[in-house]
Structure 1
Amino acid sequence: MKEIAVSDVKAKTNPDAADPTAPYGSANNPSEFDVLKRLDANEPYFIIRGGDPLSDALVELHAYIGAGQSGAAHDTLERILALTAQHPPRPVGSPKYRETFKISISMERYRETHGRSH
C-alpha cells in the first residue's frame, strides 16, 4: 500500500465555510467529514486542539492506522514517544489525564451499544 506523504495532502476550502481563509478543519472552515454537528446527543467525543503540542502527530497517527499504513504509523508513534520522553505534556496526576481515560471508557461503552459511527 502506498504511504501518503504530508506534502501530498492538499487542504481544500469548504465552499460553505464561514471564513474560507480560516485553517481547514477549524470551526470557521470545517473539514468535509466534520462530525460535531452530527454527533448524537449522548455520543462521547474527544477534541484535539491545534495548539496541543502533539496534535498534528496524533491526528497523523490516527490517519496512518486507519489507512493500514503500519510503517508510517510506527514512524509517527516513534516521533511522538521521542517528543514526550523527557517532558510529558501532562503529568500522570493531572485531572485532564484521568479524564481522558474516562472518555475512552465512555467511547468503548457507546460503541458496544450503538455500533460504529461511520
Structure 2
Amino acid sequence: MTTFSQQPWSLEFLVTEAPGYISRDVITIASGAGIIQPGTVVGKITASGKYVPSVPAASDGSQIAAAIVGFRVDATSADHLVTAFTRTCEVNGKHLTRDASIDTPTEIATQNAQLAALGISVR
C-alpha cells in the first residue's frame, strides 16, 4: 500500500481572528529562509525587519516569536512577501510548525508566551 503524506494546509492552524483582517499583516520572509509552510512561527530580524523561522539560539531578534505564516512560501533564493498573523487571533497549537530545536514543554510554553504577548492565543 502506498503511503501518502500531506503538507500543512493554508490557514488550517487558525481558529479565530479579529474582524476586518486586522489580525493579518504582509511580511517579508528573508532570502535563504527556505520553504516556509503555513503555520510556521517566525521571528523578526531586528536589523532588516525581515522574518525567518524563530530559533531560540538566534541572537538577531528572530529568537522572539513575532508572527505565524499563513501560506506556503519559497524564500530559498529571494525575499518573499506573505500574509502572516501578527496579533489578535486564536490558533491551534497542534498545527503550528516550530523549529526542531523547540522540543520541550518549557520551550513550547516560552514561545507560546511570546505569541500571547502579541495577542495570539495558542490553544
- More helix by percentage: 1
- More strand by percentage: 2
Q: Which has the higher contact order (CA 8 A, sep 6+)?
A: 2
- Per the TM superposition, whether the score is higher than 0.5 is no
The two structures have a TM-score, normalised by structure 2, of 0.22
Larger Rg: 1
